[in-house]
Structures are given as structure tokens and as C-alpha cells.
Amino acid sequence: MTAIRSVVLGCGSYLPERILTNAELAAKVATSDEWIVQRTGIRERHIAAQGEFTSHLAIKAARAALAHAGVDAQSIDLIVLATSTPDNTFPATAVSVQNALDIHHGAAFDLQAVCTGFIYALASADNFLRSGAFKRALVIGAETFSRILDWNDRGTCVLFGDGAGAIVLDAQPQSGTTPERGVLSTHLRSDGRHKSKLYVDGGPSSSQTVGHLRMEGREVFKHAVGMITDVIVDAFKANGITADDIDWFEPHQANKRIIDASAHKLHIAPQKVVLTVDRHGNTSAASIPLALAVASADGRLKKGDLVLLEAMGGGFTWGSALLRW
């Protein structure tokens, strides 16, 4: 049986130059390197320069992904950009990326699912490609969370960073078996009962301000591992595999303790877990494609590897994806 699969042709990323260390944060708010490392695993994060927007990070990541894939920008007919920190309320940041790449055909749009944004964007692009509506997609996660942080709130300002990552997805006919390359399945969930646990206290319709990120950290932590592991089990069941079959676990990088606990509960070996939270902090929708780019560049992630992605974020939203790299 012939089916269309969305195959990853390449990936790329971009991090702003400025690195903000825990020690620098400790000079501004009542915190310490020891507290941040012990509770989160984060040591430093990148912060966008003044005048450097989410679109600028996304364009650099997209160009890197196109170069890595070895394809021309003109072959892209779909751009899905996951972000909660767009340049403007509208138009979509994705159209700025499209324009910068000199693409004037196809479609480009933003998608907002907070930290689960990249999984939602991947699932959306995958469905468009498999339906035959588009042939080749750029899937991007790009954020400047530094712009929505309350820098006086030590409970949140130490956790987040800026960055962007992108992948190129290509629609290819295949027979649809697990050993073949491509996105094997995606699993999306949300539950708005939790929306007050992690939110931004502003917006165009409510306050006409951008607002600041607010979080009940302990509440988020309490739900995170259960939600993440549930949706990973869905991916295992859908594909008839177990944790032993996974080559790489590339989770959303929010907190090392959440990642460790999820991997432990699922019996995923620690050496299969790709960790970037120590150097990037939580870059929301950008964290997974940033981690993919790191593991690809350092030679860990190879063609044919089975890769498990997962994320959980504001809403709550959560989701997983299984793909053969």
C-alpha cells in the first residue's frame, strides 16, 4: 500500500549571542546558581538583543534548516511557525519568515500552543502533507520569552530563554511501515480547566497590553509527568513499540527534574535522553527543534533513528510525536 509520509530532510537552529548566567540573575533577584541548578538543571540561557525579534531568530533557524536539508527555499510551499511571542499581534510572524526567504507562493501561518507548539505545528504540517495539500514544509519553533517575563519574579524569570529551531518536512510516497523514515504518529491533547496555572496576564482583547508570564510552578510540576507519560504511551501503543525501541528521547526542555522523572517512569535509558535545558533554559516552542539541531550537529541523531518527542505547556496543552529520522 502506498501512503504519503512526512520525511525530515534537515534541521537548523539559532540562539541569540547574549548568554545570561544564573550568577547574573542572582545579582538581580533573590536566587542562586545552586537553587536554579538543583530545582531545574538550568545553568544559562540566551537572551535576544534589543531590536532582535522572534522573526529574526526564526529566519536564521529556517535558513540553517534549508542549508542542512540541501533544498532551495522556493521548494517550500508551507510554513508553520509555533510561537507565543510573535513580533506583532498580527500579521503572523510566519509571513515575515516567508517574505525574508523570498517565498511568495503557498501558505504561512502561526500556531499557538505555548510549549507544546512545536508538536502541534509538526502534527499540522504532517497532516497537510499527508493530505496532498502541500509538498514541502518548514516547521519552526521560535520564541523571545524574555519579552514576556516579569524580571522581578524569581519564580519564573530564571526558567526561560530565547531561541529558534526549524525542520524541513518533505511529502514522500512510502509503503507506510514503521522501519521507513518520516513522521509515524502525532498525539495532541489539551484541557482548558488548567488555564490559570500557566498564562500571560495580558493580551489584545483583554487588557490591550502584552502582559507577563504567570505560573503556579508547583501545580504545573504536579501534572507534568502524568500528562507527558500518558501521551507517550499513546505513541508507543499506536506504533506497537516499547521504550527499548527508541533511539532518542527529545523532550520539551522545561525542567531537568520533569524530564528525568518522565524518562524513569517510561523506562527510557538515561543515555537516550537529549538534554539542552542546562544551556538553553526553557525556550517554549523552540526547545524541541533546538534539541534536534544539537543532537544532529554533534552526530548523535542519524538517519533512520527512531525519535520520540513530547511537550507540555500552558492551557494545559500536551502532546507527543514519534518519527523515524
Residues that bind ligand ACO (CB under 6 A): 31, 35-36, 39-40, 114-115, 154-155, 158, 198, 215, 217-218, 220-221, 254-255, 258, 282, 284, 312-314
* Calpha distance 218→93 (Å, rounded): 32
Residue number of the CB closest to ligand ACO reads 217
Is 187 part of the annotated catalytic residue set? no
* CB closer to ligand ACO out of 154 and 300: 154
Closest distance between ligand ACO and the C-beta of residue 10, in Å?
A: 26
Closest distance between ligand ACO and the C-beta of residue 154, in Å?
A: 4
The widest CA-to-CA distance across the chain, in whole angstroms, is 62
Count CB neighbours of 271 within 10 A. 7
* CB closer to ligand ACO out of 181 and 194: 194
* CB closer to ligand ACO out of 40 and 276: 40
Report the relative pairing of strands 18-21 and 44-47 from DSSP bridges. Answer: antiparallel
> Measured in whole angstroms, how far is the alpha carbon of residue 266 from the centre of its chain?
21
* CB closer to ligand ACO out of 142 and 254: 254
Query: Which amino acid appears at position 184 of this protein?
Result: L
* CB closer to ligand ACO out of 119 and 258: 258
Q: 280 Cβ partners below 8 Å, 6+ apart?
A: 15, 45, 46, 161, 163, 253, 287, 290
The tally of CA atoms less than 13 A away on the side-chain side of residue 152 is 0
Closest distance between ligand ACO and the C-beta of residue 39, in Å?
A: 4
Q: Which of 11, 56, 115, 194 is catalytic?
A: 115
Please report the DSSP string for 5-72 in residue order.
EEEEEEEEEE--SEEEEHHHHHTTSS--HHHHHHHH---EEEEPPTT--HHHHHHHHHHHHHHHHT--
Q: Which of 56, 68, 252, 280 is catalytic?
A: 252
* Best CA proximity match to 130, nearest among 176, 166, 165: 176
* Calpha distance 116→61 (Å, rounded): 19
Closest distance between ligand ACO and the C-beta of residue 103, in Å?
A: 30
* Best CA proximity match to 282, nearest among 87, 88, 40: 40
Closest distance between ligand ACO and the C-beta of residue 35, in Å?
A: 4
Is 252 part of the annotated catalytic residue set? yes
Is 255 part of the annotated catalytic residue set? no
**Residues with a known catalytic role:** 115, 252, 282
